[in-house]
Amino acid sequence: MNNFSVISKSSETRARTGVLRTSHGEIETPVFMPVGTLATVKSLSPEDLTACGAQIVLSNTYHLYLRPGCDVISQFSGLHRFMNWDRPILTDSGGFQIFSLARLRQITEEGAEFQSHLDGSRHMLTPEKSIEIQLCLNADIIMCLDQCIAFPSTRDETVSALNLTNRWASRCRDFFQSEPRENNALFGIVQGGMELDLRAVSAQSLVEMDFSGYAIGGLSVGEPAELMLAMANAAIAHLPEFRPRYVMGVGTPENLVDMVSLGVDMFDCVLPTRNARNGQLFTRTGELNINNACHRYDVNPVETGCTCYTCRNYSRAYLRHLYMSREILAYRLNTIHNVHYYLNLMKEMRNAIEMDTFDRFRKEFYRSRAEIRTQNSIRLR
């Protein structure tokens, strides 16, 4: 099932815009997906997300399988009605959470056996089980189960994980095709660690299986940004042009701009929501820490000219007061601003690509951030 169309391209980079069609609406790409791990983007309502311009959200198979469970969500025919979200949803496979959260995990050819981080109960997540759970969640886009590895890893460890990931991808595809659905698309996940040739091998193997889209996993796990970009580029070179490309778990505003220039279409990351809860707010010129004493009397919004609900109604001084007092409203207002910033950044990139000014946009983006860093450096001397 291929419901993706490339609409426009940059003449100076590989950046492109597109439209991904789902049963819950069209998604304009490049797109950022706010992370709603437990069927909610922390501190925000679906109405908040819509007001921020969210087109699609991401939820997590591992967490929702453990709690509340498919027996609950099936009563609502999937996540959309359960969480009152009428736009597209993507679910990840659970592989990364088993790697990062589960205790006493054991990876075998059959699947991943793990102990729940909630109650210690034992579970086996096979490729088939991962797809079965995601079909119960009825996400518009579902992901193949993959084996995640640590950074750094040896080449032998990387080769083993790559081969297992590809065998699991084949099983995911076969099970998915045996349960025909019109409302779900299946994406494969490229692995290969930090080895350029293995990234290419993984991508080529997945393309032969003919998925609706292709994700690039195993990045933003502690490697330098230059290495991350090189690995993504190595995979993209072997992915079909007219299928969506999704880099998982990335990243900073700089990461997004650089990845879009390589031709990436989809992103997710917890940075805007997690950092908001820690008092860090994103702006055009860099990050702002709202707990800093300099904001105590500041009557300005987080960012002058920002049209988000927070900036239209509240000052830095008030946001600092809420944050220092640990008021719940602080997390909501901070998160609204950060999610709006990320989604507006994607919108600006789409507009720049359509006008064929993306390369200029990218240079101006970096110039504005460099200027504020230079100013801050001068103040500290």
Length of the chain equals 381
* Rounded Cα distance, 359 and 269, in Å: 24
Residue 106 CB contacts under 8 Å (≥ 6 apart), including other chains:
112, 113, 114
**Among residues 92, 140, 146, 265, which one is catalytic?**
92
| Closest CA relative to residue 187, chosen from 308, 316, 333, 88 | 88
| End-to-end CA, the chain | 58
Active site residue 268: yes
Within the chain, residue ranges assigned H as helices are 46-52, 61-66, 70-73, 79-83, 95-100, 127-137, 155-178, 196-209, 225-236, 253-262, 271-277, 309-313, 316-324, 328-354, 358-380
- Distance, CA of 11 to chain centre: 26
* Rounded Cα distance, 242 and 343, in Å: 23
Residue 334 CB contacts under 8 Å (≥ 6 apart), including other chains:
276, 277, 279, 281, 290, 310, 319, 323
Active site residue 92: yes
* Rounded Cα distance, 33 and 236, in Å: 20
- DSSP 8-state class, residue 250: B
**Among residues 119, 140, 268, 359, which one is catalytic?**
268
Q: Which residues are catalytic?
A: 92, 268
